[in-house]
Amino acid sequence: MENTITRSRRSRSTLENAIHGIFLVCGLAAVLAVLLISLYMIFSGGPAVAKIGVSDFLFGQVWDPETSRFGILPMILASICATGLAILIAVPVGVCAAIFITFLAGKRSGELFLFFIQLLASIPSVVYGLLGAILIVPAIFKLQTALGLPQSGSLTAASIVLVIMILPTIISVSAASIKAVPKQYFDASLALGSSRIQAIFKVVLPAAKSGVTAGIVLGVGRAIGETMAVLMVAGNAPIMPKLLEPVRLLTVGISMEWAYSSGSHREALLGIGLILFIFIMIINIVLGAILKKGGVKR
């Protein structure tokens, strides 16, 4: 009997060690992949940025490969503005929608709403771009005509499309985080005299802050890395961004010109890739620190 128990323990220990080894290999593979990508971007884009000049590359306002002028400031500002506008609109709308699904809609209605929202998250970005080009851009044309501006894609159109694209992610992650908060928090707040709205916004939502922040992080990542949908509605002119005028984002600049680029032009595109990679890393680190801080407070 003891031998059987001993063999069972050894077998279980061997299995646990094997699973631990598999998880360790998977984790190291993920870390190695990130390191390799980081090194590739640094060694491929770094020399290009150094060759052009960091100041000229980052703060130059003219992008003209024919004259070897590679200034990406308009693209940097366009990416920041489009992502910032999208987040400013999508975050409050997404969080309020998650609250509605969790607390205000009925159980079946909430599940139905969540199903369709998750379905939106699986739609290819080119479809969003097509709908934006058909519905949003023509509507903005009317406003541009009224203001005496030429009809074109614009920063506003790009931001609206990005809002629609990132809303499903923010809503679904936020709803899951709010549902994970123990119901006793909500009930205790009501018992102490709070209204439903006060209990939601002053007790439940702060308790779900970490998960909501995670949804925002995912939304920011998708917004700043989006290419196809933005390419179809932004107008794609490398000029300083204005709400109702065409813009070109960093991702669009690479995808539009890579196929026919060569020499210093291609090196400059690699430099754009490096800058975009650094931006995404900075955003993830900052929002990750906020997320970690929120988790500690909670």
112 and 37 housed in the same domain: no
39 and 174 housed in the same domain: no
46 and 60 housed in the same domain: no
pLDDT in tens, 197-228: 888 888 888 888 888 888 888 888 888 888 88
Average confidence (pLDDT) over 157-178: 91
**Per-residue pLDDT at 6 exceeds 60:** yes
DSSP-derived 3-state class of residue 247: strand
Using CA atoms, how far residue 227 sits from 23, 231, 243, 283, in Å, is: 33, 6, 19, 18
Rounded to a whole number of angstroms, the CA Rg of the chain reads 24
133 and 205 housed in the same domain: yes
- Higher pLDDT pick, 4 / 90: 90
194 and 67 housed in the same domain: yes
Average confidence (pLDDT) over 183-200: 86
- Higher pLDDT pick, 298 / 28: 28
Average confidence (pLDDT) over 120-135: 89
- Please name the residues in contact with 168: beta carbons below 8 A apart, sequence gap of 6 or more: 117, 118, 120, 121
Place of tokens 């851009």: 137
DSSP-derived 3-state class of residue 158: helix
**Per-residue pLDDT at 294 exceeds 60:** no
C-alpha 168/C-alpha 285 separation (Å) is 23
Which residue in 79, 121, 30 sits closest to 280, CA to CA?
Answer: 79
The CATH number that applies at residue 177 is 1.10.3720.10
Place of tokens 């997320």: 291
Using CA atoms, how far residue 292 sits from 92, 185, 243, 278, in Å, is: 21, 22, 34, 21
Confidence of residue 81 (pLDDT cuts 50, 70, 90): very high
Q: Is the pTM of this model over 0.75?
A: yes
**Per-residue pLDDT at 298 exceeds 50:** no
* Residues of the domain holding 24: 1-52
Q: Specify burial of residue 250 (Cβ count, 10 A radius: 0-12, 13-18, 19+).
A: buried
For residue 243, give both structure tokens.
Answer: 């709400």
31 and 136 housed in the same domain: no
Mean pLDDT score across all residues of the chain: 85
pLDDT in tens, 260-288: 888 888 888 989 988 888 888 887 787 77
Confidence of residue 297 (pLDDT cuts 50, 70, 90): very low
46 and 147 housed in the same domain: no
Place of tokens 């100041």: 55
Q: Name the least confident of 74-78, 205-209, 214-218, 293-297.
A: 293-297
Using CA atoms, how far residue 179 sits from 102, 104, 204, in Å, is: 7, 13, 9
- Beta-strand ranges (E) seen in the chain are 63-64, 69-70
141 and 282 housed in the same domain: yes
Place of tokens 């406003």: 143
C-alpha 25/C-alpha 19 separation (Å) is 10
143 and 230 housed in the same domain: yes
110 and 69 housed in the same domain: yes
| Among candidate residues 9, 26, 52, the one where a domain is terminated | 52
Q: How many structural domains are present in the chain?
A: 2
Cβ neighbours, 10 Å, residue 56: 15
237 and 152 housed in the same domain: yes
One-letter amino acid identity for 8?
S
C-alpha 107/C-alpha 130 separation (Å) is 34
| Among candidate residues 37, 52, 67, the one where a domain is terminated | 52
* Residue 123 pLDDT: 87
**Per-residue pLDDT at 192 exceeds 50:** yes
C-alpha 156/C-alpha 220 separation (Å) is 17
Using CA atoms, how far residue 129 sits from 78, 117, 135, 144, in Å, is: 17, 18, 10, 20
C-alpha 57/C-alpha 46 separation (Å) is 11
* Residue 7 pLDDT: 65
130 and 142 housed in the same domain: yes
